[in-house]
Structure 1
């Protein structure tokens, strides 16, 4: 019986008329359009994903650069504050050096100069005392 059924299917013939041909043509056309749409969607998806990856990578690299610049700015601001403090200190020292009394006091202290009627006594530093006591014990 199985063989008999096979024969029946082989004997069936498709109709050859305008309606069947137009339906087959329409089916082929719609199948081709579906394939085209899928290809377009695939290309569009790939293009969109590439653009998205580029945008994300650009954002990440810009954030990294921004963090580096912010760190550099903080370092420069710290150095600027130090330089301003040093400038203030030097301005104060310049103002002091313009005073004759300060210069005289500085000369007496640093170069052991004396004023009229003054006697200068030098007291050894503690390091010198320690060195002398070490030499005496040996």
Structure 2
């Protein structure tokens, strides 16, 4: 008879410790949620600040409108703000980058994407 292991039924059993508190997975989930919440909060705050400042920029353009002649242009296939600015640079008497920014402000564009058929206003200062 082989007895490789004898079990003593009177021996103290190993006590398993119960872990109370936060597990690693719960901590990671909390940090991700916390970060996402503050990211969205800051986006909301900065979006409302940006909308307020955009309105002031447009008011400044309207205030300077008497000194500007505005030319209406219909966007054609293949046009971009840069190409339009190069085309009207001499009439506007500004460098191309500044004219792109002026066109964006006057037309209330958030970025440089324009579409064929779209009507844009090009600022031309009075001589």
TM-score normalized by structure 2? 0.40
- Larger strand proportion, structure 1 or 2? 2
Larger radius of gyration: 1
- Larger helix proportion, structure 1 or 2? 1
Higher relative contact order (CA 8 A, sep 6+): 2
TM-score normalized by structure 1? 0.37
